[in-house]
Chain A
């Protein structure tokens, strides 16, 4: 049909009139209309932002003057490896910021190593308890979810008051501890808060995982004469492994990015004992008297890298133990 009336260049004309292709093109156009809001936001606030943050990480930028290229100097100042070397009395002052390597990184690692195992084990125990067909299960489930639906700021403000020197915790346990102003206790108070708020959600994930294990497997095991320990060891735990991986990953990412609680409860103090990587990024970019946007951007990429590496290591560990379990 197209050829008979064609006077224009054949290729162009045929493509325009071929109903199959025209339909395809109009579908693609419609699809992009559907995607338009997403693409606008995605290109502006994700693609452009990541690119610009990457550029900023190689600059010195304090908002007052345009970004000034200084290559890897920002990364060098963030890592500040020379602060780890022994230094003489009369050595010149360091031209870098040792807050990341001396405080934020060790603090974040410590925080993660304490909070992730604690909340994982605790939520697993709670999930086991919920999985026994006990009474009031729905009531318990509702109650356990309360700390998770409460806003992190509100629960932090409540904790600040509960753990204040005259607060209820000290009154109930007859203690005299200045929880949030003592470098020995402040970080642990924030850890308690986080375990408290996340365990309910993680418990729900574990519970769904436990209830997803087919009862037929348990029946088969009991016919084979497996006792409760063996059932736990060879069925429940291996079957739960993907859920454990998920819960640990979620916990890990959450811990590396902890911010709200730190900002509200201690602002990184006392004596930087609660400064974490995520908080340090914010502090450098928005709170310090001389803003260090470039350095903060460099640290944000280091944080992204740390999260990636930890997730990969942890996947390797869980998969490694998987091969032992199934043997």
Chain B
């Protein structure tokens, strides 16, 4: 190897020298880039932690890098003294869990049907699914708001003496936030791709044993797809936990807010109490961080996977 390179390039050209030079400084430069960006990524959360551990009065005061004077009053207030914060935490938890469980189940069911069953309009429905993923959420925002909340026709559709409601009447209701999210086109697409990739033999054996489609799905297919289901569950939970635009449109009274909506509202109402918002922010971030650390592999795989499949 070495002899070949020597014979090929007898005199070191400028670009060879440059490469040799870059090779030598490469490692320290890359380390500097990695460490620099890592510091930037940690800094906001670190400062948030430091200042949420300081009293409200010191929210802009130095020292910047450690919590002096130290106080737990913000966390105490967020957990106990301000009753809205636990309420928001509860609302966020309910919405995220219900949406996640429903979406994982319904997406798996639909994905299985698309991957394994034959039915009329299959191609058409799958194409419609793919197209719907490309529609920006702003297009459906207004009609969805009308359908979930006040209805398409105010006061309902009157036919004779009968009034038919034209909306779900779920304005300012957690159910209104949940409803449109219980299925997602992306999740169905993901599950369809997965179910197409697994061998059919297992299901065929179960079918010979006399299991119907539902039995096969719940007893065989769901158990072998736990990795995919977990990935979808994690992505869904994270998305719902952090979701903003849709709950902002539906929820109106502070008692019904989710944590992100509540934190933003609280910041607007009590501008001087930003320390409480910082402490509350950590409550919003912490569950996701814990879940992320436990299931990191699934998060990173799912992201890397989408990049390659669609790329």
Contacts and interface: CB of A to CB of B under 8 A. Distances in A.
Contact of A162 (B47, B183, B306): B47
B117 interface: yes
Interface string B268-302: 00000010011001001100110011001001100
B10 interface: no
Contacts of A134: 27, 30-31, 34
Contacts of B120: 28
B19 interface: yes
A285 B45 CA distance: 34
Interface stretch (B77-85, B105-113, B223-231): B105-113
A81 to B, nearest CB: 22
A59 B109 CA distance: 39
Nearest to A301: B139
Contacts of A45: 140, 144, 147, 180
Contact of A151 (B38, B153, B260): B260
Interface stretch (A113-121, A124-132, A177-185): A124-132
A238 interface: no
B182 A37 contact: yes
B141 A125 contact: no
B59 to A, nearest CB: 8
A161 B274 contact: yes
A144 B38 contact: yes
B44 interface: yes
B118 A34 contact: no
Contacts, number: 283
Interface string A235-278: 00000001101110000010011011001100000000000001
B41 A146 contact: yes
A314 interface: no
B109 A34 contact: yes
Given A30-B213, A48-B147, A153 B117 contact: no
Contacts of A158: 44-45, 47-48, 278, 281
Nearest to B245: A259
Contact of A257 (B138, B244, B300, B305): B138
B117 A34 contact: yes
**Interface bracket on A:** 35 or more
A31 B8 contact: no
B154 interface: yes
A46 B130 CA distance: 12
A172 B264 CA distance: 26
A240 B308 CA distance: 10
Interface residues of B, number: 106
Contacts of A164: 60
- Which interface residue of A41, A52, A206, A293 has the most chain B CB atoms within 10 A? A41
Interface in A22-55: 24, 27-28, 30-32, 34-35, 37-38, 41-42, 44-50, 52-53
Contacts of B139: 49-50, 53, 297, 300-301, 303-304
B90 interface: no
Interface stretch (A100-108, A135-143, A319-327): A135-143
A253 B293 CA distance: 28
Interface in B5-38: 5, 8-9, 15-16, 19, 22-23, 26-27, 30-31, 33-34, 37-38
B267 interface: yes
Contacts of A196: 40-41
B308 A34 contact: no
Nearest to A137: B34
B282 to A, nearest CB: 9
Interface stretch (A10-18, A72-80, A87-95, A197-205): A197-205
Given A63-B154, A286-B145, 14 more contacts: A28-B119, A150-B288, A151-B244, A157-B267, A158-B44, A171-B60, A207-B304, A212-B308, A242-B311, A263-B244, A278-B138, A285-B145, A297-B142, A301-B139
30 contacts: A28-B118, A30-B214, A34-B109, A34-B213, A37-B109, A42-B128, A45-B180, A53-B140, A126-B37, A130-B34, A136-B34, A142-B296, A143-B42, A145-B300, A149-B238, A151-B284, A151-B288, A157-B267, A158-B48, A161-B277, A199-B37, A200-B41, A209-B311, A227-B16, A227-B19, A256-B136, A260-B245, A281-B138, A303-B136, A307-B136
